[in-house]
Amino acid sequence: MKVTLFTTCIVDFMAMNVGKATVELLEGLGHEIDYPKNQTCCGQPTYNTGYVEKTKNTIKHFIETFEHADVIVSPSGSCVMFVKEYAHIMADDKEWKERAEKVAAKTYELSQFLIEVINVDDFSAKLPGKAVYHHNCHTARFLKVKEQPIKLLSKVEGLELVDFHNSDKCCGFGGTFSVKMGDISAEVADEKARYIMDANPDYLIGADFACLMNIGGRLSRLGSNIKVMHIAEVLNSK
Amino acid sequence: MKKGQILNRESFISNLSNILGREMPKEVVHPGLSSTPHLEIYKGFTQAQLAEEFHKNAQVNKAGSGGKIDSVIIEKKDLAKTVAEKLVEHGTGPIIAWNDERFAQWGLTDVLKDAYVWTDEKGRENVDKALNAHYGVCVSDLSLAETASYTVIDKLGKGRSSNFLPLNYVCIVPQSTIVPRLTQGMQKLHEMSKQGINPAAINFICGSSSSSDIELNKVWGVHGPIRLTYLIVSDL
Amino acid sequence: MGIKINNENFKKNLDKNLNNDFMRAAMVKAQDLINKNRTNVLSQLGDGNYREWQKLSGEVRAHVLENLDFYLNQFAENVVKNGGNVFFAKDAKEASEYVTKLAVERGVKKVVKAKSMVTEEIGLNHHLIDAGVDVKETDLAEYILQLDDWNPPSHMVVPSLHLNRTQIKDVFAKNGYSGKDIPEDLAAFARAQLRNEYVTADMGIYGCNFAIAESGAISLISNEGNIDLCTSAPELQVAVMGMERICATYEDADICISLLARNAVGAKSTSYTTFVNGITEEGAADGAKEFHVVIVDNGRSKVLKSQFKEVLQCMRCAACLNICPVYRQVGGHSYNAIYSGPLGVVLTPLLAGYDDFKELPYMCSLCGACTEVCPSNIPLHSLIHEHKRVLAEEKKVSAFWGASMSGAGMVLSRPWMYKLGTGVAPLMTKPLMVDGKIKKGISILKGWTDKRDLPALEVVRFRDWYAKRSKGGNK
């Protein structure tokens, strides 16, 4: 299958390893990667700060860049959730609304794609050690992608997944919230990091780099050695 | 009592009609509920099964209250004896009871001979008696299995404060009064209201007076009864 | 007091609360405990399909709002049939003045009052006190707060959540308590003080969980039973309700109450679920001889007209406070208003204006947990976002963010600018780097880096790696 990859902006310029792992994982499963090089961002930074009108050009750009695809896959559930909001945001413009709906219908978060579309759940991945999984709010709550990553991780040889207190709660990232209300955001991240440290894992795994960057940033400041990994990197570990 | 009045109605209501973009409708047809999960709870249960559920849920409340709430299932022949036991279980003291002919029918005259009977003609004396009562005795008008709640539908002879002031409460729950849940309680109030009967107060009560306002520590008897005991009577 | 609870600067107030260790520990404990119980009882509701109940409750509440004129009119007529009176108040002042005038005219010396958010909102207590009426708050938490010189509530269901037992003991000690800081003993002291108040008060004032249009009843739920005592002993009684707190029928109220108790306190039912219908029977020894309902608009009709009208479906259960990651850290007082948490973020600016509350909509990570739990099916996080939109696009509150977001919008919709920007960014942030991470940011980045490291920006972006690889470069 030809898979069109939306890496997201954060992965592009802050976590290229996540994009790399996604490519290698999908290619390893025999799929062809299509990477539209004009891609930028889903538009959440401006939208979530309240600037809806200023977001519409970004949305249109996304649609134009991706509407040729058979299937669009992204290693970020939050961005996928937002792509699925496009039609609602463009509701007043019939043409763009329809184009948005078509794009949304073929956009998947990575673990969702692996389980729901191509139905592969074994990658002969190996990663020895104990891990916790952080559910991204938008992925779990709105995309309803909650079981899929856990199912995938359960197949990773040597990996023991353990729960931690309030594992389904927000990490405090929230896009521009993390700088606009930095004090509060940092306190949420601190509590999250401490609960993770209480579980004493080797790895913190997530399916959205924004959360991982946030929690990881606090873990790092607290001097923790817990390694932060995106699920694509874990599934690509041999 | 002079007839009640409604003040400022016209301007207030017409403002809302304006906002809603139309005249106030003469009639509104309620669309009904799109699904009815509330009707499924304990559906088709017999009275005996409902009594079991009531008792089971009261026992859950017992565990949650450190024993402040309790329940037993008994037969009518043991009612007088059991009431007598319960009225000394937490020490002795003044008793207050409704003015209810069922007590006599069920053979409780002797057990309640020293009880103060709520007598509306005596006015505020009743309230003072309730304030100082060690025990209150009542009969549930309608009993909700799901929450182990009893119901007091207000009428003369029962009093209002009598239900909330005594230290310990003993409530007789005839098995025939048990319904699945609040849903059936609401159906009853709906039917009464359709007939123009709107009792001044309807109280659904499932526990004793409690609060978690101090560091979320549950404390009992913060204003009213500290203990509540149900006597579920299987043949009433 | 009204909606606004202090005049302090938002940031200063927030800092103070973030440094209040007891309060913060209390919030964490409260959220974890209430949520555990809540989840547990909701799983036992019917076959555990909460989503179905949530949807029903939302329907029931939305139906009333669409026909609010009709149902309020029907309700008012039924109250009168039950021997009561109804006063429609357009604002806080009218409502408080009506109740106070009534108290003064009837020669009321003492009022026993049950906890009610709307009476807080209209500032009723101080109105009565200024008129020389003695007001006794009877809810244990409100009683504590009243004795603590009217300390404002920090939670809709547990208003005294921010105070610890020692602080409460000290408050009681000023009023004759000589015991220790044991919750049971403190509660027993309150009991001894309050029981006599009920039976000697001339007037009872309480709120309303749901008014029932078809009968004219007011429903009230509580664990303490203090509301029931306020509805029982005093001869003159007043119920105050927000105009949206209405259910068409008893059946509708069943759905709402079934969710309210479970969400508010994590129990299948509160100890007391009460319906009061006007005045008591002729000849009864207690109960209301005179009954009034005050129906308060105070800005709600403006909300009904707006894109925020779904917030009027709220039943004040506080489930959104109890799940919110922000409320958890900052506590109720940080919202500077009696309504806090996600509900407060949505409602406060609508009732009290943006001027004093323009920071509130940003106290949200848009995680959506509030929307997920809301028993009235209100899309809370979407309404919070709508506030941000209004502030950004209509009020243009921040020139800095306006310009930044204009810039971002331009860059993100123009690939060449995006590529250029992300290409030079690593160079620009290089001076901030320590051990491969950004530890000390400047400007808006400071909010992040005060407590968190930020990964270095990639010198080789994903797109660079991919381009090189496509040309047969490093695999």
Domain with CATH 3.40.50.10420 in chain C: 57-301
Q: What is the ipTM of this complex?
A: 0.96
Q: What is the pLDDT along chain C (475 residues), one digit of tens a residue?
A: 789 998 888 999 999 999 999 999 999 999 999 999 999 999 999 888 999 999 999 999 999 999 999 999 999 999 999 999 999 999 999 999 999 999 999 999 999 999 999 999 999 999 999 999 999 999 999 999 999 999 999 898 899 999 999 999 999 999 999 999 999 999 999 999 999 999 999 999 999 999 999 999 999 999 999 999 999 999 999 999 999 999 999 999 999 999 999 999 999 999 999 999 999 999 999 999 999 999 999 999 999 999 999 999 999 999 999 999 999 999 999 999 999 999 999 999 999 999 999 999 999 999 999 999 999 999 999 999 999 999 999 988 888 888 888 888 888 888 888 888 888 888 777 777 787 788 887 777 888 888 999 988 888 999 999 999 887 655 4
Distance from CA of B235 to the nearest CA of C (A): 27
For A7, nearest residue in chain C (alpha carbons): C462
Tell whether B8 is within 8 A of chain C (Cβ).
Answer: yes
Closest CA relative to residue B231, chosen from B21, B68, B70 = B70
* Side-chain half-sphere CA neighbours of B208 within 13 A: 30
> Mind listing the pLDDT tens digit for each residue in B75-87?
999 999 999 999 9
C95 in contact with chain B, both atoms CB, cutoff 8 A: no
Window B:72-101, CB contacts with C under 8 Å: none
Where does the pLDDT of residue A229 fall: very low under 50, low under 70, confident under 90, or very high at 90 and above?
Answer: very high
Task: Using CA coordinates, name the residue in chain A closest to C365.
Answer: A174
Say yes or no: C447 contacts chain A, CB-CB below 8 A. Answer: yes
List all residues of chain B from 181 to 200 with a beta carbon under 8 Å from chain C: 181-183, 185-187, 189-190, 193, 198-200
User: Chain C partners of B123 at a C-beta cutoff of 8 Å?
Assistant: 285
Q: What does the alpha-carbon distance between residue C403 and residue C82 come to, in Å, rounded to a whole number?
A: 60
What's the confidence (pLDDT) of residue C445? 82
Residue in chain B nearest C71 by alpha carbon: B28
Task: Choose the closest CB to C454 out of A7, A169, A217.
Answer: A217
Within 8 A by CB and 6+ apart from C399, the residues are none
Across the interface, which of B119, B200, B221 has its CB nearest the CB of C280?
Answer: B200
Compute the nearest-CA separation of C424 from chain A (Å). 11
- For an interface test with A, the pick among C17, C452, C469, C475 (most A C-beta atoms closer than 10 Å) comes out as C452
CA C144-C142-C339 angle, 5° bins? 130
Question: Rounded to an integer, what distance in angstroms lies between the CA atom of residue C247 and that of residue B44?
Answer: 28
> For residue range B175-193, what is the model confidence (pLDDT) as tens digits?
999 999 999 999 999 999 9
Side chain identity, residue B18: N
The closest alpha carbon to A215, from A197, A233, A237, A238, belongs to: A197
Tokens of A192: 């999250």
pLDDT tens, position by position, B18-31: 999 999 999 999 99
- Two tokens at C403? 């310009």
* Residues of chain A found within 8 Å of residue C458, distances taken between Cβ atoms: 12-16
pLDDT of the residue at C429: 79
Query: Domain B46-233 is classified in which CATH homologous superfamily?
Result: NagB/RpiA/CoA transferase-like (3.40.50.10420)
Q: Tell whether B212 is within 8 A of chain C (Cβ).
A: yes
- Considering only the top CATH level, what class is C57-301? alpha beta
C157 neighbors C265 (Cβ within 8 angstroms): yes
What does the block give as tokens for C428?
């620009």
Of A58, A187, A217, the CB nearest to C453: A217
Contact assessment for residue C57 and residue C357, using Cβ atoms and an 8 Å cutoff: no
Domain ranges of chain B: 46-233
Question: What is the pLDDT, as a whole number, of residue C333?
Answer: 94
> Which chain C residues touch B216 with a CB distance below 8 Å?
26, 29-30, 33, 158, 161
Domains defined for chain A, CATH in brackets: 2-116 (no CATH), 122-235 (3.40.50.11810)
In angstroms, the CA C297 to CA C242 distance is 6
For residue B109, give how far its alpha carbon lies from the nearest alpha carbon of chain C (Å): 23
Rg (CA), chain A: 17
Nearest to C69 among B4, B16, B128 (CB): B16
Asked whether residue A58 carries a pLDDT value surpassing 90, the answer given is yes
C180 to B221, C140, C161, C163, C173: CA distances (angstroms): 18, 17, 19, 16, 9
Q: Among A14, A37, A177, whose Cβ lies nearest the Cβ of C365? A: A177
Q: Is C368's CB within 8 Å of A20's CB?
A: no
Q: Mutate which of C354, C366, C419, C457 to disrupt the A interface (most A C-beta within 10 Å)?
A: C366
For testing the chain C interface, which of B22, B214, B226, B230 should be mutated: the one with the most C CBs within 10 Å? B214
Q: By CB neighbour count within 10 A (0-12 exposed, 13-18 middle, 19+ buried), where does C321 fall?
A: buried
Nearest Cβ partner for C409 among A14, A46, A184 = A46
Judged by a CB distance cut-off of 8 A, whether residue B56 touches chain C is no
The lowest-confidence range among B145-154, B158-167, C420-429 is C420-429
Instruction: Say if the Cβ atoms of C388 and A50 lie within 8 Å.
Output: yes
A160 has a pLDDT exceeding 90: yes
If phi > 0 it is left, if psi is from -120 to 50 it is alpha, else beta; for residue A46 that is alpha
Residue A196 predicted with pLDDT over 50? yes
What is residue C163's three-state secondary structure? Answer: coil
In the DSSP assignment, the letter for residue C392 is I
What residues in C contact A23, CB-CB < 8 Å? 466
Give the Cα separation of B51 and B56 in Å (integer).
8
pLDDT bin (cut points 50, 70, 90) of residue B1 is very low
- CB-based contact B220:B80 (threshold 8 Å): no
To probe the interface with C, which of A20, A51, A76, A196 has the most C CB atoms within 10 Å?
Answer: A51
Q: Please indicate if any CB of chain A lies within 8 Å of the CB of C326.
A: yes
Chain centroid to Cα B131, Å, comes to 18
Q: Which residues in B lie closer than 8 A to residue C270 (C-beta atoms)?
A: 206-207
Distance from CA of A159 to the nearest CA of C (A): 26
Please give the interface size between B and C, counted as residue pairs whose CB atoms are below 8 Å apart: 320
Q: What is the DSSP letter of A114?
A: I
Whether the pLDDT of residue A122 is over 80: the answer is no
Structure tokens at B74: 């008994």
Taking only residues 192 to 221 of chain C, the set having a beta carbon closer than 8 angstroms to any beta carbon of chain B reads 194-196, 198-199, 214-217
Tokens encoding A238: 């041999």
- Do chain A and chain B touch with ≥3 beta carbon pairs under 8 Å? no
Q: For residues A105 and C16, what is the distance between their CA atoms, to the nearest angstrom?
A: 47
CB contact (8 A) between residue A58 and residue C409: yes
Q: How far apart are CA C383 and CA B212, in angstroms?
A: 31
Residue range A139-166: average pLDDT?
95
Which chains have at least 3 CB atom pairs separated by less than 8 Å from chain A?
Answer: C
B15 pLDDT above the threshold of 90: yes
Task: Give which of A152, A136, A130 is closest to A203, Cα–Cα.
Answer: A130
Identify the pLDDT of residue C473.
55
**Positive or negative: CA dihedral C114, C118, C119, C121:** positive
Q: How far is A16 from chain C (nearest CA, A)?
A: 4
Q: If DSSP codes are grouped into helix, strand and coil, which group holds residue C164?
A: coil
